[in-house]
Amino acid sequence: MIKMQAGTISHPQVQALISYLEQETNPMIVLDPDYNILASNTAYERQFGVAGQSIRGKKCFRVSHHYDVPCDLAGEHCPMKKAQEKRGPDRVLHIHHTPRGPEHVDVELRPIFDEFRQVVAYVERLVTVRNASARPSSDGLVGRSAAFVAALSALQRVAPTMLPVLLLGESGTGKELFARALHEASNRAQGPFVVLDCSGLTETLFESELFGYEKGAFTGAASRKQGLVETAAHGTLFLDEIGDIPLAMQVKLLRLLESGTFRRVGGIETLHADFRLVAATHKPLNEMVMQGTFRQDLYYRISAFPIHLPALRERRDDIPMLITSILQRNETEKGRMTIDADAMMALQNYAWPGNIRELRNVLERASLFADNGVITSENLLLDLNERPAYREFNPASPSTNRGKDASISSAALTEIASSFSGTRKELAVKLGMSERTLYRRLKEVGLQ
């Protein structure tokens, strides 16, 4: 504990504190209880400093947010307020202005007490989040809406642990991209990220994919094959559409998770698994547990840390940034497409039952019609009357887990699929859903 005059911190004491913080590789600043920045370490200057401009004496909310008032008065979570109330550290994910533009920053504030237990200063540690961008970007996760930041904040908290994570979100909300970002933010980032799509797998295929098999285990098993559990050693295993695993296989998955061991199909050797589990589904697993189609014990095993990924209509503020990012990603030698204001407005007002995947498809298609490089509303083909598949979609009653396919009735799907002459891939693009989702829906309506 630093000894000082009651209720205040002296200049030499601030200097002592900051020379101690110089050892830190993370950017750090010292603040007084009135939001004034007293000092910063070199790592801060390097990452967030502007040449020739000192932040000393400035208010933290002005420097980081360009606000005129503290964060809580601007409708945000203020970590200083919280740390003061809790009389302990507080951590929050904020979007900060930096010399590079807006960035997601993980902020932790720790109060410094005097000998009378009065808070005399705070030490703030800032860690830039590298796996998501708060401005348009040519790769990875982008977003800055409150719903997106809530999901990202949960990802940041859980990434360094070994807890299994369950990603819940409609089709096209970015579950796979999120799972990858989680892996990259974890201690296993140097290890492999292995994906198993559980939809449409038969029981035997699921088992041999997951556990591998020995030579001669079944007809056609000409040599030993390593399963995905082995491939994921020291890394992350992502089980996509876990709600589609048949009951008989759920037992085998549960056994693997509980014992941490497995055997290759046709093998006798017990092998040790070493992976971090991330699972995803668009299905309401808790309802499936009640209906008896998903095992309760497995549900408890995989849902230790559920993260809800918002539908695009729950994060409309992100649409312009996502559009810019997608157009940047689709840049060709002819240059980058732009979009006019009317088209931008139409896209912001649309319901997006197919979420970001549908947005990407709409933009790709519109780009083909935009002859002068500017996408207009005529190029979007968003007319609901011409797209009966979306007619029954009701954005007023969004259900978190129903998925886009819930918005297309089986009758509408049958009607469209029966009269469609292109390939399944083209039909998926037309409907704004993944090929995988289309495959599952066609199977359900008997059109496989």
Ligand X SMILES: Nc1ncnc2c1ncn2[C@@H]1O[C@H](COP(=O)(O)OP(=O)(O)OP(=O)(O)O)[C@@H](O)[C@H]1O
Which residues here bind ligand X, judged by CB under 6 A? 141-143, 169, 171-177, 282, 322, 325, 356-357, 360, 434, 436-437
Kindly compute the dihedral angle of the four CA atoms of residues 124, 128, 134, 137, in this order, to the nearest 10 degrees: 170
Least Å distance, CB 144 to ligand X, is 10
Least Å distance, CB 306 to ligand X, is 15
Which CB sits closer to ligand X, 96 or 315?
Answer: 315
Which CB sits closer to ligand X, 282 or 313?
Answer: 282
Least Å distance, CB 185 to ligand X, is 14
Least Å distance, CB 446 to ligand X, is 21
Distances, alpha carbon 129 to alpha carbons 116, 142, 184, in Å: 36, 12, 11
Continuous H helices in 272-380: 285-291, 296-302, 319-329, 341-349, 355-369
Which CB sits closer to ligand X, 33 or 284?
Answer: 284
Which CB sits closer to ligand X, 111 or 172?
Answer: 172
Which CB sits closer to ligand X, 263 or 316?
Answer: 316
By the 10 Å C-beta count (0-12 exposed, 13-18 middle, 19+ buried), 240 is classed as buried
Least Å distance, CB 360 to ligand X, is 5
Which CB sits closer to ligand X, 78 or 132?
Answer: 132
Kindly compute the dihedral angle of the four CA atoms of residues 109, 146, 361, 193, in this order, to the nearest 10 degrees: 40
Least Å distance, CB 20 to ligand X, is 38
Which CB sits closer to ligand X, 59 or 360?
Answer: 360
Number of residues assigned to the chain: 448
Classify each residue of 54-92 as buried b or exposed e, where b means 16 or more C-beta atoms within 10 Å of its C-beta.
ebeeebbbbbbbebeebbeeeebebbbbbbbeeeeebbb
Q: Which residue is nearest to ligand X (CB)?
A: 174
Least Å distance, CB 437 to ligand X, is 5
Backbone angles phi, psi at 342, to 5 degrees: -65, -45
Least Å distance, CB 146 to ligand X, is 14
Backbone angles phi, psi at 225, to 5 degrees: -125, 130
Across 225-334, the runs of DSSP E, i.e. the strands, are: 225-226, 235-240, 261-262, 271-272, 275-281, 305-308
Q: How many CA atoms lie within 13 A of 54 on its CB side?
A: 6
Which one, of 21, 325, 3, lies nearest residue 177 by Cα?
A: 325
Alpha-carbon gap, residue 245 to 333, rounded angstroms: 43
Which CB sits closer to ligand X, 72 or 176?
Answer: 176
Which one, of 367, 423, 415, lies nearest residue 391 by Cα?
A: 415
